[in-house]
Structure 1
Amino acid sequence: MRQWLRVAALLFVLLGCGIFSFGQEPGGDAQRRTTITGKVIDKENGQPLEFATLVLQSTEDPNNITGGITDAEGKFEVEAPAGRYNIRVEFISYKTYEVKDRMLRGRNDLGTISLSLDVSTLEAVEVTGERTTVEIKLDKKVYNVGKDLTNAGATISDALNNVPSVAVDVEGGISLRGNQNVRILINGRPSALAGFGSTDALQQLPADAIERIEVITSPSARYDAEGTAGILNIVLKRDKTLGFNGTFQANGGYPESFQATSNLNYRTKKFNFFNTIGYRYRNSPGRALNDNIYNPGSSNFDRITEERDWDRTSNGFNLNIGTEYFITEQTSVTASFFTRLSDGVDLTTNINDRFYADGSFDQSVSTEEENEEDRSYQTSLNFRHNFNEDGHNLTVDLQYSEDKEDVNTPIEERIFAPQDSLIRDDDVFEIQEQNDYLVQADYVLPIGENARFEAGYRGSFENSETDYLLQGLQLDPTLPDFGEVVVNFGLTNTFNFEQNINAFYTQYGNKFGKFSFLAGLRLENTRLIGSVDFNENEVDFPFDPNFDKNFLGLFPTANLTWEFGESENITLGYNRRINRPRSWQINPFPSQSSRTNIFQGNPSLNPAYANTFDLGYLKRWDKLTLTTSVYYQLETDSFEWITEETGEVTSDNIPILRRTPINLSSEERYGGEAAVLWNPSKWMRINTSANVFRFVKDGEYNGTDFGASNLSWFARMNAKVTLPGKIDWQTNAFYRGPSENAQSRTEGLFILNVAFAKDIFKDNATISFNVNDVFNSGVRRSVSETPRVTSTSETQWRVRQFQVGFVYRFNQTKRQQQRGRGNDYGDDDEGGF
């Protein structure tokens, strides 16, 4: 590990000096210049070693270091000023070749240099590569998930489900420590991957694109204050090694799925070109069951059951292309473009059985075909200037995102018993467009050896428009437009929404012996503007649907660390955060998912604020790492989803229910978590974690007490074993305990995934096979109650899936991939995606 760090540091110095070339300074005669050539090979098999490092250190001035690296044939040719040098040739996990105090002038051929493996170093590198899956920093935990076999053929959303503290439910919802108000960032920035506040795009991109995932439960002041649960920062791969390299991945499976992705990188002395392109097709069948039992005398019905089956198919194409240009040794500019194009069809069949209080019965069948087309584009520009090599730098980011979602949903419902008749024939059209602008500047100033001052500005400006149109066949024979297609003006509307955020922050960190701290303050101004275009003659609102709200808040943060030694520390963090309502949460027009259930936003919904305390402990032994933490959070004006009766009924006298968000008075949440990483031997690795949490909600709405409390937990275990024949076998088990809120109770959930993989073609390629949800047990079961009805539901969002995968690596073996990672990205201020 120390040798890896030394070589990485050396490569950084050499890159900063701009000498990864065949020579930098033109001119000069042979007496003043020297050219050094040679070839580096593996002593055992004679294979050339690409990316081996030649180091030339002047004996007269040891701080004067130059050199270069070998090409694909193991050859090097470096030009330098004539003089006396110490010569070293280094390659990770190999013994160093060294020549002391040699005079170099004119042309010097060092010949063929054979390097032999350093057995002790090699073992340390390989074992560390498996162990170092978690790193604790002042304000976050860093997890490397790239080597999880169960991620082969999986998506980013699937990979998140392998990370301690994180859970992804059967519908793709992401939670952190049981709280779904999580801020998702890509390379430290908001991204078009999470357009409209949705995580659907994370279910389309391959997990193989991930470098690491940062779990930030106590964010520092440099981060946006959004997300009361914390932040998940997904850092994507971008190689920083000279030359051309990359990977190609293809996967196929059942139910029908196919995915192909290439990740290519080409780096020269002045430029770094990176590109990711991928296509994905997926068929995801699922099912759901709802059983509504009405209290005696409360309705015309005794019971209504809904049995749903859906068949979801999606096609997705994504492209990320960019380049980093090194203007000088200290200054670089990165420009990138990202696009995601996808379309899908969700076909839902709903069988409805209705049992009336008078003993009669009828049955209806509805079909709903949602056709969705998504287009996302994002352009980013990042400027970085390093004033020196001590971390004194300035970064400026500009980003523009454009998202468009076009959905058309024909809905037809027929009664088949006791007689055949059409009761619904509607078309829903919804178009949503969103534009986002981001301006951010961050300044970092080291003070002395251990102190650091930071300050910055961030402006985020969102503009969205949602057009909603509901039209259908008029089936009431008593009306004059019977049999004609008519527009429902009570639901048809256009909603315009703006969210403008301006923020300034400053923070200071220092280290005194074993004690470190990072304290900061962030000032944020949030402005929410909403307006509605509608037919006023058709709609009677009990409130003004247009609003203009302004919120100014201070968000302090503090993170403290005490190191008992190199392998043991304790951390304490505090932060204040905000949960801003999304546009769909405050859109006052109801949208109809069925005749009997509607969703309606609440324009009176205000931001919620949370204060969180986090106490953590880390201890490393030779083969085991333990991380634990306890936390407490108090959230005021917290959001709660409630279901209430509208007082209206359908044409066949079924009560219509409405689901809407409200601000409850408060929510207390506290819990603890622990994770253990154990490497009992080189052929086995075990990673387990558990999180136990409890929340208490207090609040009243429309005379109904929505207070509730719940104790829940989830746990996972990930075990990787190397079988004979160098076949890797990995098992991932996840269990989420039962939970409860103000109106519903959800049962526990267990999912088991297994995967096998083997390297082929001299470790340049890997084949894999995995099964997601081996027992087909990923089913969410819940019970909810209102004063009139008790509803039992069962939902299986995705059935068991089988995947076969193939990965081929260009100009990099699997071992080189593992060795070459670690500090590629440095801080969180990487732009690009």
Structure 2
Amino acid sequence: MKPKITMKKIKFAVLLVLFFTSFYNYAQQPPTGKNKVKVTGKVFEKVSKQPLEYATISIMAPNDTKVIAGGITNPKGEFEVAVAPGTYDIKVEFISFKSTEIKGKNISGDTNLGAVNLSEDAAQLSEVVVRAEKSTVEIKLDKKVYNVGQDMMVKGGTVSDVLDNVPSVSVDTEGNVSLRGSDNIRILIDGRPSNAINVAEALRQLPADAIDKVEVITNPSARYDAEGGSGLINIILKKGKNQGFNGTFIASTGLPETYGLSANLNYKTEKLNYFTTAGYNYRTNEGGGETNTSYFNADGTPKGFLDEDRDTKRTNDGFNGRAGIEWTVAPNTFWTNAINYQKNSGNTTDLINYSNYDAAHAFTGSSFRLNNGDTGSENVEYTSNLIKNFNDKGHKLTADLSISRNTDDSNSIITASPNYNTTLNNQVQKQVQLQADYVLPLGKGSQFEAGYKGSFGDLNNRYFVTDDQGVNDPNLSNTLEYKENINALYTSYGFKVNKFSYLFGLRWEDTNIEVNLLDNNDYNTKKYNNLFPSAFISYEISDQSNFTASYSKRLTRPRGRFMNPAVNYSSNVNIFQGNPDLDPSLTDKYDIGYIKRWDKVTFTTSAYFEDTKDVFSFVRTPNGEEVNGIPVILSRPINLGKEQKFGFEFTFNYSPYKWWKLNSNFNLYNVKTTGSNTYTDVNGNDVVQNLDNQANTWFARVSSKITLPYKIDWQLNGTYNGEQKTAQGKNLGQFAMNTAFSKDVMKDKGTIAFNISDIFNSRIMRSYTYLQNDTTLESQTSYGEMQFRKRQFNLSFTYRFNKPKNEREKNAQPRNEGDGGGEFQG
């Protein structure tokens, strides 16, 4: 019986190879390295022709096992090893693959070994117990990669929980995602834009167990969609890889009442790979908040006070399923087809108690508002991906098709003394996306790329508000028809000169949007086309450090609730309404970055500048109505003017000991906004609001993972969002801490994990708002708190069969994970 491969043996062997290789080279060769030559090549998986990252190359004297020089492959499967001229045996290895040896190779000058193809070793694969563990966060030159499977914090959670642990990314209490403090981002799933109507809600419904990893790209190249002023977040779903039948089952439960069951199954033959993921989740979110408002006369004396106390409970039943087949049509051609299906239903109970006070703060009366709502959504998507590899040097053609239909329905009964209203909101969205990408290497270190993408969407939104007599309110009810057609072409060229790598690209996008309000025959058409240049330069200082500089032009289109004029009627004194006349905002992005790797530390830093025109901003104005003497405030988005953002970001990965790993991320930035808003008050007077604002803020996250006795893993992380000034007030600082414990059982086939989200129940969004009527000079100040989800406890059990615990995605499915072909790297 062959010995089992353990994590300790793997790590020990790798450390020994690297240590003795470095020591031997240093001792035997002149410091200048003038007598050495380069041995290069690429390592691929034999069947799929996909590159193998972290494959090991060992160079030895003939018929000797002593390693003279060695190295590992990069993400493109490339390697480069320096060695003195001579005759050597060369060995290429990768865990669970059959090794390849080249005997008696005479190396007199720089030598390219070409493509080295490795085949899976089925016997060894069945005996692998634990493979070398990938770090939770991988820092790469052009992006950060967060490996979800290694993070205990998200067990039993949702994609929103996953994103809230990713460096540079944060999720607020309402589920809105931001990157480097900006919500002008584009969220992709497997390289394609999310087709969900409400992206924030869709991310809260998708279980974390379905996610493999998350890529964060702060300055995308021309091959990506131009949308996303601050960058892209690409969520990559799990897919089975191992030969034969294997899979994972996960069961979870928690408090407040939460439970779920999911399965990830895969069956792979030489030609076909069947994969499926299915899961059911029931979740309870308890939240709440308060808003305390003080009203003042023109002379600054108190006029009255209003306290709002909110208690919210949300429940959700959700099913998520995905099934597909990857067919190896030929050794160099792959065709993948998949069906994604999501169905969710939920209930929301939102109770607001109002307490009124006079100018002396004496209690004058109370009222309430109860919103009982039901929600339901169903999303179906078919995807098809075809890849043709013309050779093993990166020459390929890919084609993608996505067809989806999404429905999102909600209705509620709003009871408020002395009457009640009902609301009904039905949304249906249809989407078709076509994409083709062509990649042509033009020689060593150079590459040409070109492609097309078409996105065609149609959204129909019916919204009704009726009174207690069943009569529609024409001021609040409407039918919105939103059509969006986007065609895009792009091209890019990358090349390498010595230690400098360059990538230049140009993207053209033509946009045609129709925003039609059918009830009052209000039709709006917006047509525009733009050129989006991009440029990237990197300098390889050494094997351990790189310097980069990049520029790209980005765009943010208003969508969803931003353009929907339907009034959010959850509060009768603080209401929200979209603006169908919004224009897109354009951003020029500049980024300078540096990355340095040591044995135990990886450090990356960047300075960035974003210059945005027609930026979106929310403004609050009185709409002229009153409820029990309280003025109603309307919040809506506008194209404010200009926003300039300058910041610094630092990220560390540090492993002080084998049993302790630390990840940290720090972001400090300054935002300067210039613009004004003009509105007409109830007396017909034009009022100008000066919304110029400049604010400094910062964000920090630290995560620690420790292996305790009895092989119990303990993870702890803390996040702090600094205070930020706004045009009409300020948002206070916010701190949250999570923890988790994990233990492998059943000979590493099972894992028990327990986590606590928001240990101190401190994840509360607090803010101050100040408003003044420039005509009457009356003013009001408000203090508000909002907690979307209170502290939660989760317990989960994972069972794996025919699948190693820390399986590496070595045989990656040949698909587009980034909206196009591979990113050029010199």
TM-score clears 0.5: yes
Kept in 1, the 8 Å contact 2:310–2:350? The answer is yes
Matched residue, 1:114: none
Alpha-carbon separation, structure 1, partners of 2:48 and 2:198: 39
Alpha-carbon separation, structure 1, partners of 2:166 and 2:811: 18
Kept in 2, the 8 Å contact 1:218–1:559? The answer is no
Distance 1:133 1:63, change over 3 A: closer
Kept in 2, the 8 Å contact 1:175–1:182? The answer is yes
Matched residue, 2:368: 365
Matched residue, 2:711: 726
- Mean Cα displacement is larger for which, 204-213 or 516-525? 204-213
Matched residue, 2:350: 348
What does 1:148-167 align with in structure 2 at a 5 Å threshold?
A: 148-167=151-170
Matched residue, 2:729: 744
Partner of residue 693 from structure 1, selected from 669, 672, 686: 669
Matched residue, 1:310: 312
Is 1:711–2:706 an aligned residue pair? no
Partner of residue 767 from structure 1, selected from 724, 748, 752: 752
What does 1:457-472 align with in structure 2 at a 5 Å threshold?
A: 457-472=452-467
Aligned to 2:222, the other structure's residue is in SS state coil
Matched residue, 1:12: 45
Alpha-carbon separation, structure 2, partners of 1:523 and 1:14: 36
Is 1:828–2:806 an aligned residue pair? no
Matched residue, 1:20: none
What does 1:548-559 align with in structure 2 at a 5 Å threshold?
A: 548-559=525-536
Matched residue, 2:27: none
Aligned to 1:784, the other structure's residue is in SS state strand
Distance 1:197 1:442, change over 3 A: farther
Quote how far apart the aligned CAs of 1:146 are.
Answer: 2.2
Aligned to 2:193, the other structure's residue is in SS state coil
Alpha-carbon separation, structure 2, partners of 1:740 and 1:58: 64
Alpha-carbon separation, structure 2, partners of 1:66 and 1:745: 58
Partner of residue 425 from structure 1, selected from 413, 420, 433: 420
Kept in 2, the 8 Å contact 1:296–1:302? The answer is no
Distance 1:285 1:395, change over 3 A: same
1:223-268 per-residue CA deviation (whole Å, 9 max, x = no partner) reads 0011101100111221322211111111111111001111111111
Q: Using the aligned pairs only, state the percent identity.
A: 38
Matched residue, 1:329: 331
Aligned to 2:790, the other structure's residue is in SS state coil
Distance 1:144 1:530, change over 3 A: same
Amino acid at match of 1:671: G
Kept in 2, the 8 Å contact 1:500–1:526? The answer is yes
Distance 1:152 1:596, change over 3 A: same
Amino acid at match of 1:797: F
Is 1:499–2:484 an aligned residue pair? yes
- Mean Cα displacement is larger for which, 354-363 or 494-503? 354-363
Kept in 1, the 8 Å contact 2:137–2:144? The answer is no
Is 1:382–2:385 an aligned residue pair? yes
Aligned to 1:146, the other structure's residue is in SS state helix
Aligned to 1:594, the other structure's residue is in SS state coil
What does 1:616-695 align with in structure 2 at a 5 Å threshold?
A: 616-650=593-627, 652-695=628-671
1:258-303 per-residue CA deviation (whole Å, 9 max, x = no partner) reads 0111111111111111100001101111111000100136999500
Structure 1 gap segments, 5+ residues each? 18-49, 75-89, 95-116, 415-421, 474-483, 537-544
Alpha-carbon separation, structure 2, partners of 1:493 and 1:333: 44
The number of residues matched between the two structures is 719
Amino acid at match of 2:264: N
Alpha-carbon separation, structure 1, partners of 2:103 and 2:766: 73
Alpha-carbon separation, structure 1, partners of 2:724 and 2:127: 49
Amino acid at match of 1:450: G
Kept in 2, the 8 Å contact 1:601–1:660? The answer is yes
- Mean Cα displacement is larger for which, 61-70 or 545-554? 61-70
Distance 1:620 1:438, change over 3 A: same
Aligned to 2:526, the other structure's residue is in SS state strand
Quote how far apart the aligned CAs of 1:664 are.
Answer: 1.4
Matched residue, 1:477: none
Amino acid at match of 1:211: D
Distance 1:786 1:132, change over 3 A: closer
Kept in 1, the 8 Å contact 2:395–2:439? The answer is yes
Alpha-carbon separation, structure 1, partners of 2:118 and 2:734: 57
What does 1:67-82 align with in structure 2 at a 5 Å threshold?
A: 69=120, 71=122, 74=123
Alpha-carbon separation, structure 1, partners of 2:117 and 2:786: 63
Structure 2 gap segments, 5+ residues each? 1-9, 18-38, 51-93, 106-112, 679-687, 773-778, 821-826
Quote how far apart the aligned CAs of 1:136 are.
Answer: 1.5
- Mean Cα displacement is larger for which, 199-208 or 58-67? 58-67
Distance 1:15 1:506, change over 3 A: closer
RMSD: 2.9
Aligned to 1:212, the other structure's residue is in SS state strand
Alpha-carbon separation, structure 2, partners of 1:386 and 1:465: 41
Matched residue, 1:586: 563
Alpha-carbon separation, structure 2, partners of 1:349 and 1:676: 44
Partner of residue 793 from structure 2, selected from 796, 802, 807: 802
Aligned to 1:489, the other structure's residue is in SS state coil
Matched residue, 2:206: 205
Kept in 1, the 8 Å contact 2:742–2:754? The answer is yes
Quote how far apart the aligned CAs of 1:780 are.
Answer: 1.1
Distance 1:821 1:157, change over 3 A: farther
Distance 1:595 1:267, change over 3 A: same
Matched residue, 2:85: none
Matched residue, 2:781: 790
Aligned to 1:218, the other structure's residue is in SS state coil
Quote how far apart the aligned CAs of 1:445 are.
Answer: 0.5
Quote how far apart the aligned CAs of 1:206 are.
Answer: 2.5
Matched residue, 1:39: none
Aligned to 2:803, the other structure's residue is in SS state coil
What does 1:171-570 align with in structure 2 at a 5 Å threshold?
A: 171-192=174-195, 195-296=196-297, 302-357=304-359, 361-414=364-417, 422=418, 424-473=419-468, 484-534=469-519, 545-570=522-547
Amino acid at match of 1:468: Y
Kept in 2, the 8 Å contact 1:55–1:66? The answer is no
Alpha-carbon separation, structure 2, partners of 1:813 and 1:546: 57
Partner of residue 740 from structure 2, selected from 755, 758, 766: 755
Matched residue, 2:3: none
Quote how far apart the aligned CAs of 1:203 are.
Answer: 1.5
Alpha-carbon separation, structure 2, partners of 1:700 and 1:830: 37
Partner of residue 550 from structure 2, selected from 544, 548, 573: 573
Quote how far apart the aligned CAs of 1:830 are.
Answer: 7.8
Kept in 1, the 8 Å contact 2:115–2:392? The answer is no
Alpha-carbon separation, structure 2, partners of 1:771 and 1:54: 43
Alpha-carbon separation, structure 1, partners of 2:176 and 2:696: 20
Distance 1:688 1:66, change over 3 A: closer
Alpha-carbon separation, structure 2, partners of 1:655 and 1:236: 48
Is 1:608–2:582 an aligned residue pair? no
Quote how far apart the aligned CAs of 1:826 are.
Answer: 7.7
Matched residue, 1:87: none
Aligned to 2:330, the other structure's residue is in SS state coil
Distance 1:433 1:826, change over 3 A: closer
What does 1:20-35 align with in structure 2 at a 5 Å threshold?
A: none
Distance 1:790 1:825, change over 3 A: farther
When normalised by structure 2's length, the TM-score is 0.83
Alpha-carbon separation, structure 1, partners of 2:728 and 2:544: 46
Distance 1:389 1:64, change over 3 A: closer
Matched residue, 1:81: none
Distance 1:395 1:263, change over 3 A: same
Is 1:147–2:150 an aligned residue pair? yes
Quote how far apart the aligned CAs of 1:197 are.
Answer: 4.6
